[in-house]
């Protein structure tokens, strides 16, 4: 007759009971448990990737905007062709008996007679007026344009400079110390010197235009400073949220990037409006630019527009990333049975 060890039997019961309970827990897990874990890991990886991409784009945007603020190539003018044309006009022969003929009026054509034009009607009279305007001597117009000195310059937010190597006469004066290379842009009102023979209404209009141009300059500088400050603050919050894995901080960083992009849009729009306003100021003979002076936006302006695009893209990515964050739902376990799972 076999004798059973009662103590060994008792000690073996808990182990077998634990094995059966663990098998019961594994069998009680839902069928899609591993799929949910994989989806959660994929969402976390996508969220980190979007956040890192948004912070990188925001850092690049801050660099581009900082370059645009610190450089002077927002607006450029090239007056070499105009100065050469005025120089050729001033060097023309003035001796008696010499007739100066501009190249624009060649070849010479005979104007139609007014008597024959009156017979043909109104259409021919309009052609005669056009012909008269075309064959008018350009001397008065050239004298009025060449009376003002136009230089090749670059303009930024803080100063206006002569372009190096464009005007030899200006370079000589700068080398001698008679003319400064750059002049600071004033953000306070200072009335410019005007001729004394101007009408009062025209003088008031010029003063009002100066105030309006000054307001546009102030708005441009202030809003671009606000833009880079808000983007920097949002970038710091985004980095902290990425380190602590806090989705709310990342969402706030994205909103700050969008707010900084809005300020940058306002700054660039006011800058363009200010330049267009300066080109259309009245009277034209005092503030207009001749057609042979080429002008346009420089690479600093394009850096600012590039920073604006990167800022908006970074804000979109950082606000999209928290939506992929997996919800923290507690796992509810079913009551365990002694002999298995029901």
- Domains contained in the chain, CATH given: 49-72+197-324 (1.20.140.150), 81-91+115-149 (no CATH)
Please answer whether residues 246 and 322 qualify as being in contact, where contact means their C-beta atoms are separated by less than 8 angstroms: no
112 vs 135: CA distance, rounded Å: 12
pLDDT beyond 80 at 177? yes
pLDDT category, 234, cuts 50, 70, 90? very high
Q: Torsions phi, psi of 59, nearest 5?
A: -65, -40
Residue identified by tokens 């049975």 is: 337
pLDDT beyond 50 at 3? no
pLDDT beyond 80 at 88? no
42 vs 326, residue with greater confidence: 42
195 vs 221: CA distance, rounded Å: 31
Question: What would the mean pLDDT of 94-116 be, rounded to a whole number?
Answer: 48
Question: CB neighbours of 320 closer than 8 A, spacing ≥ 6?
Answer: 50, 254
- The chain-wide mean pLDDT, for the chain, equals 75
Beta strand 153-155 pairing with 159-162: antiparallel
Least confident of 221-230, 243-252, 307-316: 243-252
26 vs 204, residue with greater confidence: 204
* pTM for the model: 0.69
Closest C-alpha among 303, 155, 157 to residue 216: 157
Question: What would the mean pLDDT of 17-33 be, rounded to a whole number?
Answer: 49
Write down the pLDDT at residue 48: 83
Instruction: Tell me how far the alpha carbon of residue 8 is from its chain's centroid.
Output: 83
Please answer whether residues 257 and 231 qualify as being in contact, where contact means their C-beta atoms are separated by less than 8 angstroms: yes
Q: Highest mean pLDDT range out of 100-104, 202-206, 235-239? A: 235-239
Write down the pLDDT at residue 131: 44
300 vs 65: CA distance, rounded Å: 9
118 vs 129: CA distance, rounded Å: 12
């Amino acid at each position: 007759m076999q004798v059973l060890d009662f103590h060994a039997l008792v000690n073996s019961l808990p182990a077998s009971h634990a094995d059966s309970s663990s098998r019961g827990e594994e069998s009680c897990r839902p069928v899609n448990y591993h799929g949910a874990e994989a989806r959660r890991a994929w969402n976390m990886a996508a969220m980190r990737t979007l956040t890192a991409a948004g912070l990188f784009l925001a850092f690049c945007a801050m660099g581009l905007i900082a370059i645009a603020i610190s450089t002077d190539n927002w607006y450029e003018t090239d007056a070499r062709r105009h100065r050469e044309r005025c120089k050729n006009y001033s060097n023309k022969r003035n001796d008696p008996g010499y007739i100066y003929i501009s190249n624009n009026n060649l070849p010479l054509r005979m104007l139609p007679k007014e008597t024959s034009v009156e017979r043909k009607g109104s259409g021919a009279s309009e052609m005669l007026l056009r012909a008269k305007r075309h064959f008018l001597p350009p001397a008065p117009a050239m004298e009025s344009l060449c009376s003002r000195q136009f230089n090749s310059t670059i303009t930024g937010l803080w100063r206006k400079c002569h372009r190096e190597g464009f005007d030899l006469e200006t370079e000589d004066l700068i080398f001698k110390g008679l003319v400064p290379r750059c002049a600071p842009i004033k953000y306070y009102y200072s009335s410019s010197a005007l001729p004394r023979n101007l009408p009062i209404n025209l003088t008031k209009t010029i003063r009002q235009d100066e105030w309006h141009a000054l307001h546009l300059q102030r708005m441009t500088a202030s809003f671009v400073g606000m833009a880079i400050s808000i983007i920097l603050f949002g970038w710091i919050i985004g980095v902290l949220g990425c380190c602590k894995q806090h989705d709310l901080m990342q969402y706030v960083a994205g909103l700050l990037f969008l707010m900084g992009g809005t300020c940058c849009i306002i700054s660039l729009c006011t800058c363009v409006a200010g330049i267009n306003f300066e080109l259309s100021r009245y009277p034209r003979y005092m503030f207009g630019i001749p057609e042979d002076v080429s002008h346009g936006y420089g690479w600093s302006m394009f850096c600012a527009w590039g920073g604006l695009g990167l800022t908006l893209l970074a804000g979109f990515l950082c606000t999209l990333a928290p939506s992929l964050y997996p919800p923290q739902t507690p796992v509810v376990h079913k009551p365990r049975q002694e002999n298995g799972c029901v």
